[in-house]
Chains A and B, each alone.
Chain A
Amino acid sequence: MSSPVESQTTREIDRSHGIECLKQMLRIRRLEERCAELYTETKIRGFLHLYNGEEAVAVGVVQALGPDDAIVATYREHGHALVRGISTRAVMAELYGKQEGCSRGRGGSMHLFDAKTRFYGGNAIVGGGLPIAVGLALADKMRAQQRISSCFFGDGAVAEGEFHECLNLAALWRLPVLYVCENNLYAMGTRLDLAQSTTDVAKKAAAYGIAAEAVDGMDVLAVEVAAQRAVAHIRAGEGPFFLECKTYRFRAHSMYDPELYRSKAEVEEWKQRDPISNLVSLLRQQGAIGDSDLEHIERNVAKELDDAVAFAEAGTWEPPADLERFVYSERRQT
């Protein structure tokens, strides 16, 4: 298990599960598209990092987790939040900065939090979430709780010292951490091979004695199967697991990015591997889905987003008198 291997996708898929994966990816894609529009309309402000192209990673991995497991994500985390079950309304209200948002509007796009689903935030410091996942897993181990702490990060985080510190610590203490590297080949605008002497990311994990696997991150079923293997490994008490998902970001890094660092041809090439169209083709080939099914899914997703936008629009601003709340806890605890 300790050497990185390309995983093989099982191509015989269960129809309803395939459709569920498709639905989840479409929810994310359409949310992100709606976000871009709302940003242009100045309804959403600040930094906005969209997940288009990478949907298979969040959907594949989060579906493999149990309800008690924890998620620590990055500033590109709308998709993870949706799949995890944070309501589209609460996510959209958060993007608007309304107090009905999942973080009362105080976090915004980069800081979605939800205690009910153990969603420990979008962390907007590259690599900053890795130690949090180590600590959550340490607490579980010390309290003999059979839970997994999953941690998403990009290839940029691999260059941070914290990445190496945390991989070592989780391996040393055999902690139940699932590391998920969303390798989209660019740390903001710097290509992986311009930042790393060794571009095989999974190998770095293997160097710490962590079971590691690289998987096609554009293939939701492959990601899910690999994530299930990872989860089984961790639940068996075998220590942490490192899953590298090779993926690609279709849109700019953020809304400020003029994308000078990559060619349109490269982006187009990757779009041929769009995880959503690929799954649609596969489901069509197997006769599992037709035009009317697709239209039905799209209609439902659009309805869900319309509802979320209406909810966010109707949401309320937290009064400035409350500004200094939540700097310190309002009640003592035991």
Chain B
Amino acid sequence: MSTAPSQATYRDAIREAIREAMHKDDRVFLMGEDVGRYGGCFAVSKGLLEEFGPERIRDTPMSESAFVGAGIGAALGGMRPIVEIMTVNFSLLALDQIMNNAATFLHMSGGQFNVPLVIRMATGGGRQVAAQHSHSLEGWFAHIPGIRVLVPGTLEDARGMLATALEDPDPVLIFEHAGLYNMKGQLPADAGPMDIERARVRRTGRDVTIISYGAMLWRCLDAAEILAKNGIEAEVVDLRTLRPLDEATFLESLGRTHRALVVDEGWRSGGISAEICARIQEKAFYDLDAPVQRICGVEVPTPYPKHLEDASFPQVATIVAAVDAMVPAHG
């Protein structure tokens, strides 16, 4: 077993996490479209077929419902499958299996049959791949009781969350933003299982709490840099997990900042951002000095041309402008 490289990409981090899990536990295997000979659509599993063989790095036909359901069955049968759905867009073809089987078996069986399954998929837009390949549906999945929804935004989380997910007795969905795979950073060699239930404050600040996750986290951090130059200190909360939603962390933060902005690439209506706003209203209404604001994906099917696509997703400039409007004059 090799140790993780110190300089790595988000993609490398996930690959290392898979490798480590497969070395550690022979019940773990990876299954999905093009995970083997192709090396994974996003090259996450590149080289794993050679290392582990076709039984454990298992190419599947384009049958999302069958292989996701087979993952559920294999989990029930004593294995620890990692099912890769190429992108969230295709998860819709397996939604029945995820929602009606994976999420319900434990409950319907009165506690007899838990489903220790991990499903990974790429999510998000920003690559000019138009309306059918740019969805951010992790907020949708977070609506479903019985599953966990993880949204690693950092290399460390990409590396560590999988190990914890595999130790979980219940189904865990991991959404990897397609725009993050090439992100570079330092990766601790001893990265291992980590907390998957708590949000983290990625930047501290006193004036406003920006709540986000995944690729948008980095736009928020960039915006916070710019805001800091103008004298506004933004605190940035990385949700990390959308279900269960760790409200304590963002409530605690806005208890200090008294202002909150939610930034979500997903559509506004009925999205995870709406849930966060509702929780703030329920639990922290009297802490607020200003109405909670949201920047979400504009509610259109994602357009192809870059200028329109950019206009449909939250951008650093729009985040900066929103915070400027929320925080009183300073200087």
Residues A104 and B69 in contact in the complex (CB < 8 Å), given A168-B61, A329-B169: no
B106 touches A (CB below 8 Å): yes
* A residues near B106, Cβ cutoff 8 Å: 326-329
A103 B108 Cβ-Cβ under 8 A = yes
Instruction: Indicate if B167 sits at the interface (CB-CB under 8 A).
Output: yes
A5 at the interface (CB under 8 A from B): no
Residues of A within 8 A of B97 (CB): 128, 131
Q: Is the CB of A106 within 8 A of B110?
A: yes
Contact between B110 and A104 (Cβ–Cβ < 8 Å)? Answer: yes
Which of B66, B108, B168 is in CB contact (< 8 Å) with A113? B108
With both chains docked as a complex, state the minimum distance between the C-beta of B168 and any C-beta of chain A, in angstroms.
8
- A317 → chain B closest CB, angstroms: 13
Which residues of chain A from 119 to 137 have a CB within 8 Å of any chain B CB?
120-121, 123, 125, 128, 130-137
B:187-209 near A, CB below 8 Å: none
A333 and B112 contact, Cβ closer than 8 Å, known pairs A130-B69, A134-B73, A136-B76: no
Q: Verify if A226 is at the interface (C-beta below 8 Å from B).
A: no
- Stretch binding the partner chain, chosen from A159-167, A183-191, A236-244: A159-167
Let me know if B109 and A139 touch, CB within 8 A: no
B63 at the interface (CB under 8 A from A): yes
Interface residues contributed by chain A, number (CB under 8 Å): 49
Bound CA span A103–B70, Å:
23
Residues A51-73 near B (CB distance < 8 A)? 70
Chain B nearest CB from A204 CB (Å) reads 15
Q: Are A330 and B73 in contact (CB under 8 A)?
A: no
Residues of B within 8 A of A165 (CB): 61, 63, 65-66
* Contact pick for B71, options A115, A135, A142, A143, CB 8 Å: A135
Residues A131 and B72 in contact, CB atoms below 8 Å apart: yes
Pick from A113, A121, A137, A139 the residue with the most CB of B within 10 Å: A139
Tell me if A105 counts as interface (CB < 8 A to partner B).
yes
Task: Say which residue of B65, B101, B112 sits within 8 Å of A123 (CB atoms).
Answer: B101
B107 touches A125 (CB 8 A): no
Which residues from chain B contact A137 at a C-beta distance below 8 Å? Answer: 73, 77
- Of the candidates A138, A329, A332, A333, the one whose C-beta lies within 8 Å of that of B73 is A138
Q: Which of A99, A139, A142, A334 contacts B55 (CB 8 A)?
A: A142
Question: With an 8 A cutoff between CB atoms, is A304 at the interface?
Answer: no
Interface status of B304 (Cβ within 8 A of chain A) = no
Within the complex, which residue of A105, A113, A139, A334 is in contact with B77, where a contact is CB–CB below 8 Å?
A139
Partner of B110, one of A70, A113, A120: A113
A138 nearest CB across to chain B (Å): 5
In the assembled complex, the Cα of A123 lies from the Cα of B102 at a distance in Å of: 12
- B78 contacts partner chain A, Cβ-Cβ < 8 Å: yes
Chain A residues with CB below 8 A from B88, complex form: none
Say yes or no: is B260 at the interface (Cβ < 8 Å to chain A).
Answer: no
A256 to B71 Cα, complex, angstroms: 35
B111 on interface, CB distance cutoff 8 Å: yes
B267 close to A (CB within 8 Å):
no
Which of the residues B74, B111, B116 comes within 8 Å of A135, measured between beta carbons?
A: B74
Q: Which residue of the partner chain A has the closest CB to B64?
A: A165
A172 within 8 A of B: yes
> Is the Cβ of A131 less than 8 Å from the Cβ of B61?
no
A209 at the A/B interface (Cβ < 8 Å)? no
Does residue A298 face the partner (Cβ distance < 8 Å to B)? no
Q: Which of B81, B111, B169 contacts A332 (CB 8 A)?
A: B169
Whether A166 touches B66, Cβ cut-off 8 Å, given contacts A135-B77, A138-B77, A332-B167, is yes
By a CB distance below 8 angstroms, the chain B residues around A330 are 111
Interface-centre pick from B60, B66, B73 (highest chain A CB count, 10 A)? B73
**Complex contact A132–B76 (CB within 8 A):** yes
Interface positions, chain A 92-112, Cβ under 8 Å from B, are 99, 101-107, 111
The list of the 5 closest CB pairs from A to B, nearest first, reads A135-B73, A131-B69, A139-B77, A104-B110, A165-B66
24 residue pairs bridging A and B, Cβ less than 8 Å apart: A115-B113, A120-B73, A120-B113, A121-B105, A125-B100, A128-B97, A131-B67, A134-B66, A135-B77, A136-B74, A138-B70, A138-B77, A139-B74, A142-B79, A162-B66, A162-B96, A168-B63, A169-B61, A169-B66, A325-B111, A326-B106, A328-B146, A332-B168, A333-B169
Given A131-B70, A135-B74, A165-B61; 11 other pairs, CB 8 A cutoff: A113-B113, A114-B112, A128-B100, A134-B70, A138-B70, A149-B73, A165-B66, A172-B61, A326-B109, A327-B107, A328-B170
